[in-house]
Amino acid sequence: MVATPKDINPNNEPTVICPECGLPIPASMERCPYCGIRMPRGCKMLAIRVAVAVVAVITAIVLLVTLL
């Protein structure tokens, strides 16, 4: 039986996209359950980097709008 995203992530925790197979997996997993690739520096680090990037973009937009 192949795991589906709902089997892997029943609690709706944050997900990241596997760079190998492109499927969403929970940010807390170190390996993709679909293709078995080890996530670079763990999925948590990737999720944190994405969150920081999103906050930086939102901050830049807010600053740009307030300066105009």
pLDDT tens profile 15-24: 788 888 888 8
- The pTM (predicted TM-score) of the whole model is 0.43
Task: Spell out the SS3 assignment of the chain.
Answer: CCCCHHHHCCCCCCEEECCCCCCEEECCCCECCCCCCECCCHHHHHHHHHHHHHHHHHHHHHHHHHHC
Model pLDDT for residues 29-57, shown as the tens digit of each residue: 888 888 888 876 555 666 778 889 999 99
Question: Is 58 a residue whose pLDDT tops 70?
Answer: yes
pLDDT, residue 1, reads 41
Q: Report which of residues 5 and 17 the model is more confident about.
A: 17
Tokens 């763990």 belong to residue: 42
